[in-house]
Amino acid sequence: MTVRHGVHVSLFALLLIALIVFFQNKQAHFRFEDKTDLIIVLSFCGLIFAVLLGQLFRSKMHMAAFDGPSRIAFAGLIFLLLKSRQIPYIKILDVAIPVGLLCVLTAVTLNPSVYWEGRFATYFVDPNTLGSQTFILALIVFLSIGPGLGESRWLLLLKLMGGTAGIYVSIYSGSRGAWLAGPFIFLLFLLIRFGDFWRAQGADRINIALQTSLIIIASIILFCLAFYFSDAVSSRVISANHEIRNWFTGENLDGSAGIRLSIWKFSFQFASESLLFGYGEEKNMMQILSNSPLNIPANEIAINTMALTGPHSDILSKLLSSGLFGLIAYLCLLFVPFYFFYAHRNSLLGDKKRAARMGMYYITGVFIAGLSNEQLSLKYLCTFYGLMTATLLAQVLQASKQGADQSSVPSGTKAHEASVNG
């Protein structure tokens, strides 16, 4: 989010390496070791299939529609390469994410000319997207801090600085949709800690209870301080409350939150007219809409906003462009990886457990933030999601040096039972 095309360079460099490895020694590295690999790669390719089906149905090809989905599909191939290597990816992310957040803060503070009406942005990332990604990553950084991990003081300091930088950028980008993801990620964290508490014994159980209580109290205090002492936070939260209330009462439909609600209402009505395959690219959709019985003054605000900036939701975007097939592919792209992260959340191997929990937090954040602002539409967003998810999945599913991860192999062992039941 600081250098345009930077994430694409990383994707294609890794893809080139994967292809070279594949052609050099296909049997050794680049293969489906089990059905798990196949399921993951298919979930990464789902959006391409959905777009292709829709275009074949309409007998009209639009190659630009494959840009974003193709990046995610490439990331699925990269996953196979990363999984075959015994590299501690989670340790790399421990450093890379906070460093990246610090770089974002530096970039936005040094270039105020690209701000959107005073809201943080970069020359190619709008405030909503910038705030969403930095907020989700900042929460991941903070939740990755924990006792007993053997982290150095310098790494702990880096995480605190990076997480703070991410929260700061998110606050001054004014991305309220991203803030909505916070309670859901935090609730997921508490559920995981609750499982840890019940599996722990004796003094460990007391320590987990004390640590979790302190985290809850600190989070409440920090939120209250931000709300009462930061106009950037309080004004956005209060205005969102008024906009939503006015939309339901019908007093004002023109607020930012109200327009999004109008888009949701209109989009489901419009999607029902081409439910299976959608309408394809935006230009084709607007042409069909011009002759639709839904093109009435009551929907004028929603239609004009969608024409200018899109539907402001990943669910609506995939449903309108590719129909139910696109929606199913989108949900599989999120929840298939989430399932594997969930299955390994209590792995006996520390790196796998941390990567699994980080993956759960990340996907939850992307899904919730995507309800009000598209997170998987533009190429760089698809590329970043693909690489991030592929890297975490590779860490979670790679074979350990001693053999398979006992907590996730369906062998009926006690370790497996702890992983499933915890």
Residue type, 21: V
Contact 181, 364 (CB under 8 A): yes
* The dihedral sign for the CA sequence 343, 348, 349, 350: positive
The single-letter DSSP state of residue 399 is P
pLDDT at 6: 79
Is the pLDDT assigned to residue 419 strictly greater than 80?
Answer: no
- Average pLDDT of span 24-47: 81
- Average pLDDT of span 220-239: 89
- Predicted TM-score (pTM) of this structure: 0.90
- pLDDT level of residue 29 (50, 70, 90 thresholds): low
Is the pLDDT assigned to residue 254 strictly greater than 50?
Answer: yes
Is the pLDDT assigned to residue 241 strictly greater than 70?
Answer: yes
pLDDT at 418: 42
Is the pLDDT assigned to residue 285 strictly greater than 60?
Answer: yes
Residue with more model confidence, 160 or 60: 160
Looking at 71-75, 104-108, 301-305, which range is the least confident one? 301-305
What are the tens digits of pLDDT across the range 118-146? 888 887 888 889 999 999 999 999 999 87
- Average pLDDT of span 333-357: 95
CB-based burial, 26-61: b 16+ in 10 Å, e otherwise: eeeebeeeeebbebbbebbbbbbbbbbbbbebbeee
pLDDT at 168: 93
Q: Write the DSSP string, 35-96.
A: HHHHHHHHHHHHHHHHHHHHHHHHT---GGGGHHHHHHHHHHHHHHHHHTS---HHHHHHHH
Is the pLDDT assigned to residue 112 strictly greater than 90?
Answer: no
Angle at 389 between CA 39 and CA 136, to 5 degrees: 140
Mean pLDDT computed over every residue of the chain: 87
Distances (CA, A) of 353 to 10, 190, 383: 26, 16, 24
* The dihedral sign for the CA sequence 130, 40, 139, 97: negative
- Average pLDDT of span 149-170: 91
Looking at 4-8, 182-186, 312-316, which range is the least confident one? 4-8
CB-based burial, 310-348: b 16+ in 10 Å, e otherwise: bbbbbbbbbbbbbbebbbebbbbbbebbbebbbbbbbbb
Residue with the two structure tokens 């950084």: 141
Is the pLDDT assigned to residue 78 strictly greater than 70?
Answer: yes
pLDDT at 176: 86
Looking at 18-22, 106-110, 220-224, 388-392, which range is the least confident one? 18-22
Is the pLDDT assigned to residue 394 strictly greater than 80?
Answer: yes
Contact 384, 76 (CB under 8 A): no
